Amino acid sequence: MRLKSHRRRLWIDRLVRLFAGFSAVVGIFFLLWILWTVVSRGAAALNLTFFLKGPAPPGVPGGGLGNAVLGTLILTLLATLFGVPLGLLAGIFLSEFGRHHPIGGALRFVVNVLMGVPSIIVGLFVWAWLVVPLGGFSGLAGAVALAVLMVPVVVRTTEDMLRLMPDTLRESVLALGAPRWRMVAILLRGARTGLLTGVLLAVARISGETAPLLFTALNSPYWPRSLLKPMANLTVTIYNYALSPYPNWQQLAWGASLLITLSVLALTLVSRIFLGGRKAP
């Protein structure tokens, strides 16, 4: 009986290993397929004109997406400035002050819900509470929508990284008579690698979002001049250009797709290097 049971477990283990390996190969295959398609179709569009010039009129060859690249950088920077400090503070509260507090439990529940809310719902929310009162689409509304998507990622990462810090470190700092804010500062310094990783992952999370920007920043053929006006961005431009009948616009859409893909890939690699290659002191 024991021999049969041992053989059965071995066969189950082999089948599970085989299925897991096959699934990994399939996933890698489709990833490489997507990368090859985007690179082969979009590489020709990435040149100086793409980054330095604005879009050409419909049907006219030439032009670039420099305005959309700049608009995306502005939206991402503003979203990071809005979302990261709020996420860090909320994560610190959940880890150090509200771990066993009812408010902490409610906040953790809200964060978990926000993690699963579709981005288009966030766009509709910001449209109702910011776009309508301001009287029109704006880059500010787009940045707020992206910040809302960033906050739960930063909160969860901050809480998890701070909880990994040993309680003996907390007790040692407090035993020396240091105030609690000083203890938090020491914990943040020790967990800075993981916190930076969370920020990079949050930026990567919003890099390819289109739905919330359709309801907030919309798009513009002009260079960004005001945060209270519609602002050009790569994701909405890809959506519009990919559906257009003009070959040069479709080529620019592939180039923008490649640029976003490379940006997300770079952020992911940097975050993995920080997470795996450096140790907190």
Domain map (residue ranges) of the chain:
2-45, 49-277
pLDDT above 90 (res 231): yes
Distance CA 26, CA 212 (A): 31
- Place 103 in a pLDDT band, splitting at 50, 70 and 90: confident
- Is the pLDDT score of 278 beyond 50? no
Of the ranges 91-95, 103-107, 147-151, 251-255, which one carries the lowest mean pLDDT score? 103-107
The pLDDT, as a whole number, for residue 205 is 87
Give which of 21, 42, 23, 22 is closest to 256, Cα–Cα.
42
* Nearest in space to 123 (alpha carbons), one of 87, 149, 97, 103: 149
- Is residue 78 over pLDDT 70? yes
| Residue with the larger pLDDT of the pair 154 and 279 | 154
pLDDT digits (tens, 9 = 90+) for 26-47: 999 998 999 999 999 999 999 9
Residue 209, pLDDT score: 92
Higher pLDDT, 266 or 1: 266
In this prediction, residue 275 carries a pLDDT of 60
Residues 129-164: pLDDT tens digits? 999 999 999 999 999 999 999 999 999 999 999 999
Instruction: Return mean pLDDT, the chain.
Output: 90
pLDDT at residue 272, as a whole number: 75
pLDDT band at 57 (very low <50, low <70, confident <90, very high): confident
Taking CB atoms within 8 Å and a gap of at least 24, the contacts of 10-15 are none
- 165 alpha carbon, distance to own chain's centre: 25
Give the HSE-up count for residue 19: Cα atoms under 13 Å, Cβ half-sphere.
6
Share of the chain above pLDDT 70, in %: 96
Superfamily classification of domain 49-277: MetI-like (1.10.3720.10)
**Average pLDDT in the 59-81 region?**
93
Residue 3 pLDDT: 64
pLDDT (0 to 100) of residue 280: 42
CA–CA separation, 268 and 183 (whole Å): 30
Rg (CA), the chain: 23
Query: If you search the block for the tokens 């002050």, which residue do you land on?
Result: 97
Q: Mean pLDDT across the stretch 10-25?
A: 91
- Given a cut of 60, whether residue 230 has pLDDT beyond it is yes
pLDDT of residue 273: 75
pLDDT digits (tens, 9 = 90+) for 167-215: 898 888 888 888 888 999 999 998 888 898 889 889 988 988 999 999 9
pLDDT at site 274: 62
Count CA within 13 A, CB hemisphere, residue 137.
Answer: 16
Q: Which residue has the higher pLDDT, 239 or 177?
A: 239
